[in-house]
Structure 1
Amino acid sequence: MPVMDFLTASHDAMLSHGVNLYAEIFVNAQGERLYSSFESQKIDLFASYFNNTAYNSFFFSCYPIQDITQIKEFGYFYDTPGSYSIEVNGGRETDKSRELLQMRMISKNPDKQIQSFYRTLQRNLKKISGLQKHTQKNYFYLPSPKIIIPANPHSKNTRDNWEDFNLSKIERDTVQG
């Protein structure tokens, strides 16, 4: 689904469960990252990150972070903050394709608050009009004339355009299969 639809659908669940949303952007080739928090008044700004080639992923967290700079101090999802977080990969979109949004719990023993948010978000997403379940794969989607590309964080290491990289990979897999 388009990222804007996803952000809109997740907003009420975020508010009711005390969950925040952060985007991770690569700053340089050395792997330094910038984290930006979501603010409902600036949904367009947050959605613009998905068009940035430096975009890596985003995540939901109910960990009590007083200042966004603390994320760097704690590390991405390691140790305690990981129990309070859900990572989301994907979300890029162009005229030709849309990248799947893939959510995953970071911890095997997540905090009850983030678990409750996750269940609520899944219920809310399944209520979206027109949402369909793929018959052979385990994901939901909104019908689109665009090619649906799997979210692949490893493809961000390529120097090619992410879309061209993924589309050529799909074509290779189809020819070989």
Structure 2
Amino acid sequence: MLRHGVKLYAEIFGNAQGECQYSSFESGEIDLFASYFNDTGYNSFFFSSYPIEDITQIKQFGYFYDTPSSYSIEVNGGRETDKSRELIQMRMIAKNPDKQIQSFYRTLQRNLKKISGLQKHTQKNYFHLPTDKIIIPANPHSQNTRDHWEDFYLSKLESAEKL
């Protein structure tokens, strides 16, 4: 991140009206960043090389719209409970991204492949780390619900296994 001039931001829903809060992270704050995956207000995170001087500027330009999208990588997933961990999906937002963020994305992809234990899916072009948690696929209807949806889904799995 430092070499490419890229910063990491997390998007958190701050209240019932859906007002978003954004937090910026430095490379040494990985434990703080990881704690957001357990927060029920967590929505997503993103990498950006856009020169944001103040975190409140993100609200001004509307997250990824217009110019900042060319400088950003959106990352969805990662929510975690004691029962499940959501898969993480990254995507370049702009069709013609800035060279700086594009270089960071390629470097990140190469570095991900070096992680010990990382496995490639046999038919699809994505990687995963094995986990003993039950992985619930990303579902847009479940983004703002946590345990109730998971309890319902897991109980359906358990009853289907008994048949």
With the length of structure 1 as denominator, give the TM-score of the two structures.
0.80
Note closer, same or farther for the CA distance 1:60–1:165 as it changes in structure 2 (3 Å cut). Answer: farther
Check 1:152–1:17 CA distance in 2 against 1; reply closer, same or farther (3 A cut): farther
Q: Which residue among 143, 157, 164 is the counterpart of 2:150?
A: 164
Moved over 3 A (4+): 165-171
Structure 1: stretches of 5+ with no match in the other structure: 1-13
Among 34, 41, 47, which residue is 2:28 paired with?
Answer: 41
Q: Is the 8 A contact 1:97 1:163 kept in 2?
A: no
Residue type at the aligned position of 1:121 = L
SS in 1 for 2:135: strand
**Alignment match, 1:26:** 13
Q: How many residues align?
A: 160
**Greater mean deviation of Cα atoms: 44-53 or 14-23:** 44-53
- Determine if contact 2:142/2:149 at 8 Å carries over to the other structure: no
**Partner residue in 1 for 2:84:** 97
Q: Match of 2:97?
A: 110
- Going by fraction, where is helix more abundant, 1 or 2? 1
1:128 corresponds to which letter in structure 2? Answer: I
- Which of 38-47 and 48-57 deviates more? 38-47
Residue equivalent to 1:3: none
TM-score of the superposed pair, with normalisation by structure 2: 0.86
User: CA separation in 1, counterparts of 2:8 and 2:39?
Assistant: 17
* RMSD of aligned residue pairs (Cα, Å): 2.4
2:5 and 2:20 mapped to 1: Cα distance? Answer: 25
2:41 alignment partner in structure 1: 54
Structure 1 residues 61-80: aligned runs within 5 Å: 61-80=48-67
Cα 1:162–1:107 change in 2 (3 A) is farther
1:15 is paired with a residue of what secondary structure?
A: coil
State the shift of 1:128 in Å.
0.9
For the Cα contact (< 8 Å) 1:155–1:165, is it kept in 2? Answer: no
